[in-house]
Each structure stands twice: as C-alpha cells, then as structure tokens.
A = this chain, B = another copy of it.
Amino acid sequence: MTVGTDRDSGTRRRDAAKTRQLLLEVARRRFARDGYAAATVRDIADEAGVNVALINRYFDSKEGLFEACLGYAVEELARAAGDVPRTDIPAAIAQQAAGTTPEGGPNQVLLLLLRSSGDERTEQMRLGVLRRFAERLAATAGWQPDRPDDGQLMLRAQLVLSAAIGVTLLRASGLQPLTYAGERDLVEPLRDLVNGVLRATRPE
C-alpha cells in the first residue's frame, strides 16, 4: 500500500486531513446545538477523540474553528440553493428543516447561521449569507437587484427566511408535533406559507 500499515485497511492512524475533517464535523454539531459560548474546545476534542491542542494547531483558535464551520455552512447552503429549480422553494426549506433533529441530526446548517461568537468579522460573514439567501428568495417573487424595490418584496422574502429558520430552531427545541414531523408533513404547510407571503401581492 502507499499508505502506512494499519489494522484497518486503507486507513492511517495519523492523517492530518482526516482528523481536521473530524474536528470540523463534531464542531459543527456542537456549535449548532449548544451555541458558541457553551460549546467548549475540550468537549469538541474529546468527542472527536483527539487532543485539545490540535484545535489550535489546525484552526489557530476556537474562533478560527467556528469560522471554518461557518464557511462550510456557506458552501453547503450555496450548493443546496443551486440545486433548487427556483420554483420549489418550500420543498427546499422543508428538506433543510427536516434535516435538523433535537439529537443533532445530519444537517444543522441553518442553526449554525444563527449562532454568534461575538467576533465582528464572523458576524458580517453570517449577515452576508442571510442577505444573499433572502435575495435569492426575493428573486423568486420577481425581485431584481438593480430595479428599485420599495422594500416590500425583500421584506417578505426575509419573512419567509425567518419562518425557515424558526422552524429549524423550534424543531431543535423539541416542540411536538413539529419536531417529529417528517419532510413530507412539512412541505404542504410550508407551501401555503410561502405562497401566502410571496404571492399575495404579486402583480401578475
């Protein structure tokens, strides 16, 4: 083998890229679930099964680790938004929301977008993603970047975004039946919500 000998085939006991990735996965879940301040680097390192010092080695600081998590969220959200055929927003929202469970399910991207570290630069990063996301939502209702907007469309788009984020949060809180509603249960009500907010004042 080209990689070092080990009991497990094809894996190395020491792989910087792999442990870095592992730290990121754990940190994303912990930051999303507990928030920045409540999530400690020791907890993250322990759950990842590595030493605490590696966080500072690979990410400089706790803040750096959080920023890396946020960067991942940005990419993931851009990727998810890119797949949406621009007509079925509710389905996309339902999918995102459904991926968030109280146990810290597979997908907590939207939750991460709400956690704050207090750092100004990270905060701007966060706001930028939210703004772009809202613009994309507004575009589905006829909003255009150059054309002067009276603010109504963008405001309504941000209202939809609010709902998407609120659903994710309340699901994480364990509120029933919302928490244990499947993706399919969420699509229809969300469609009514989006239509109500965005199509209500649509000119044509």
Contacts and interface: CB of A to CB of B under 8 A. Distances in A.
> What's the dominant secondary structure at chain A's contact region?
helix
A82 B36 CA distance: 36
A197 B160 CA distance: 12
A169 B166 contact: yes
Contacts of A74: none
Contacts of A190: 159
A161 B166 contact: yes
B177 A170 contact: no
Given A193-B193, A195-B196, A173 B38 contact: no
Interface in A141-172: 151-152, 154-156, 158-159, 161-167, 169-170
A60 interface: no
Nearest to A181: B155
Contact of A170 (B36, B38, B118, B162): B162
A: interface residue count bin: 35 or more
Nearest to A39: B37
A130 B162 contact: no
Contact of A159 (B38, B174, B178): B178
Nearest to A170: B162
A84 interface: no
A89 interface: no
B185 A196 contact: no
A114 interface: yes
Given A127-B175, A162-B163, A193-B196, 7 more contacts: A36-B38, A151-B177, A155-B181, A155-B185, A159-B190, A161-B166, A192-B196
14 contacts: A35-B38, A38-B118, A130-B170, A151-B177, A151-B181, A155-B178, A155-B181, A158-B178, A159-B190, A162-B163, A162-B178, A164-B166, A166-B166, A196-B200
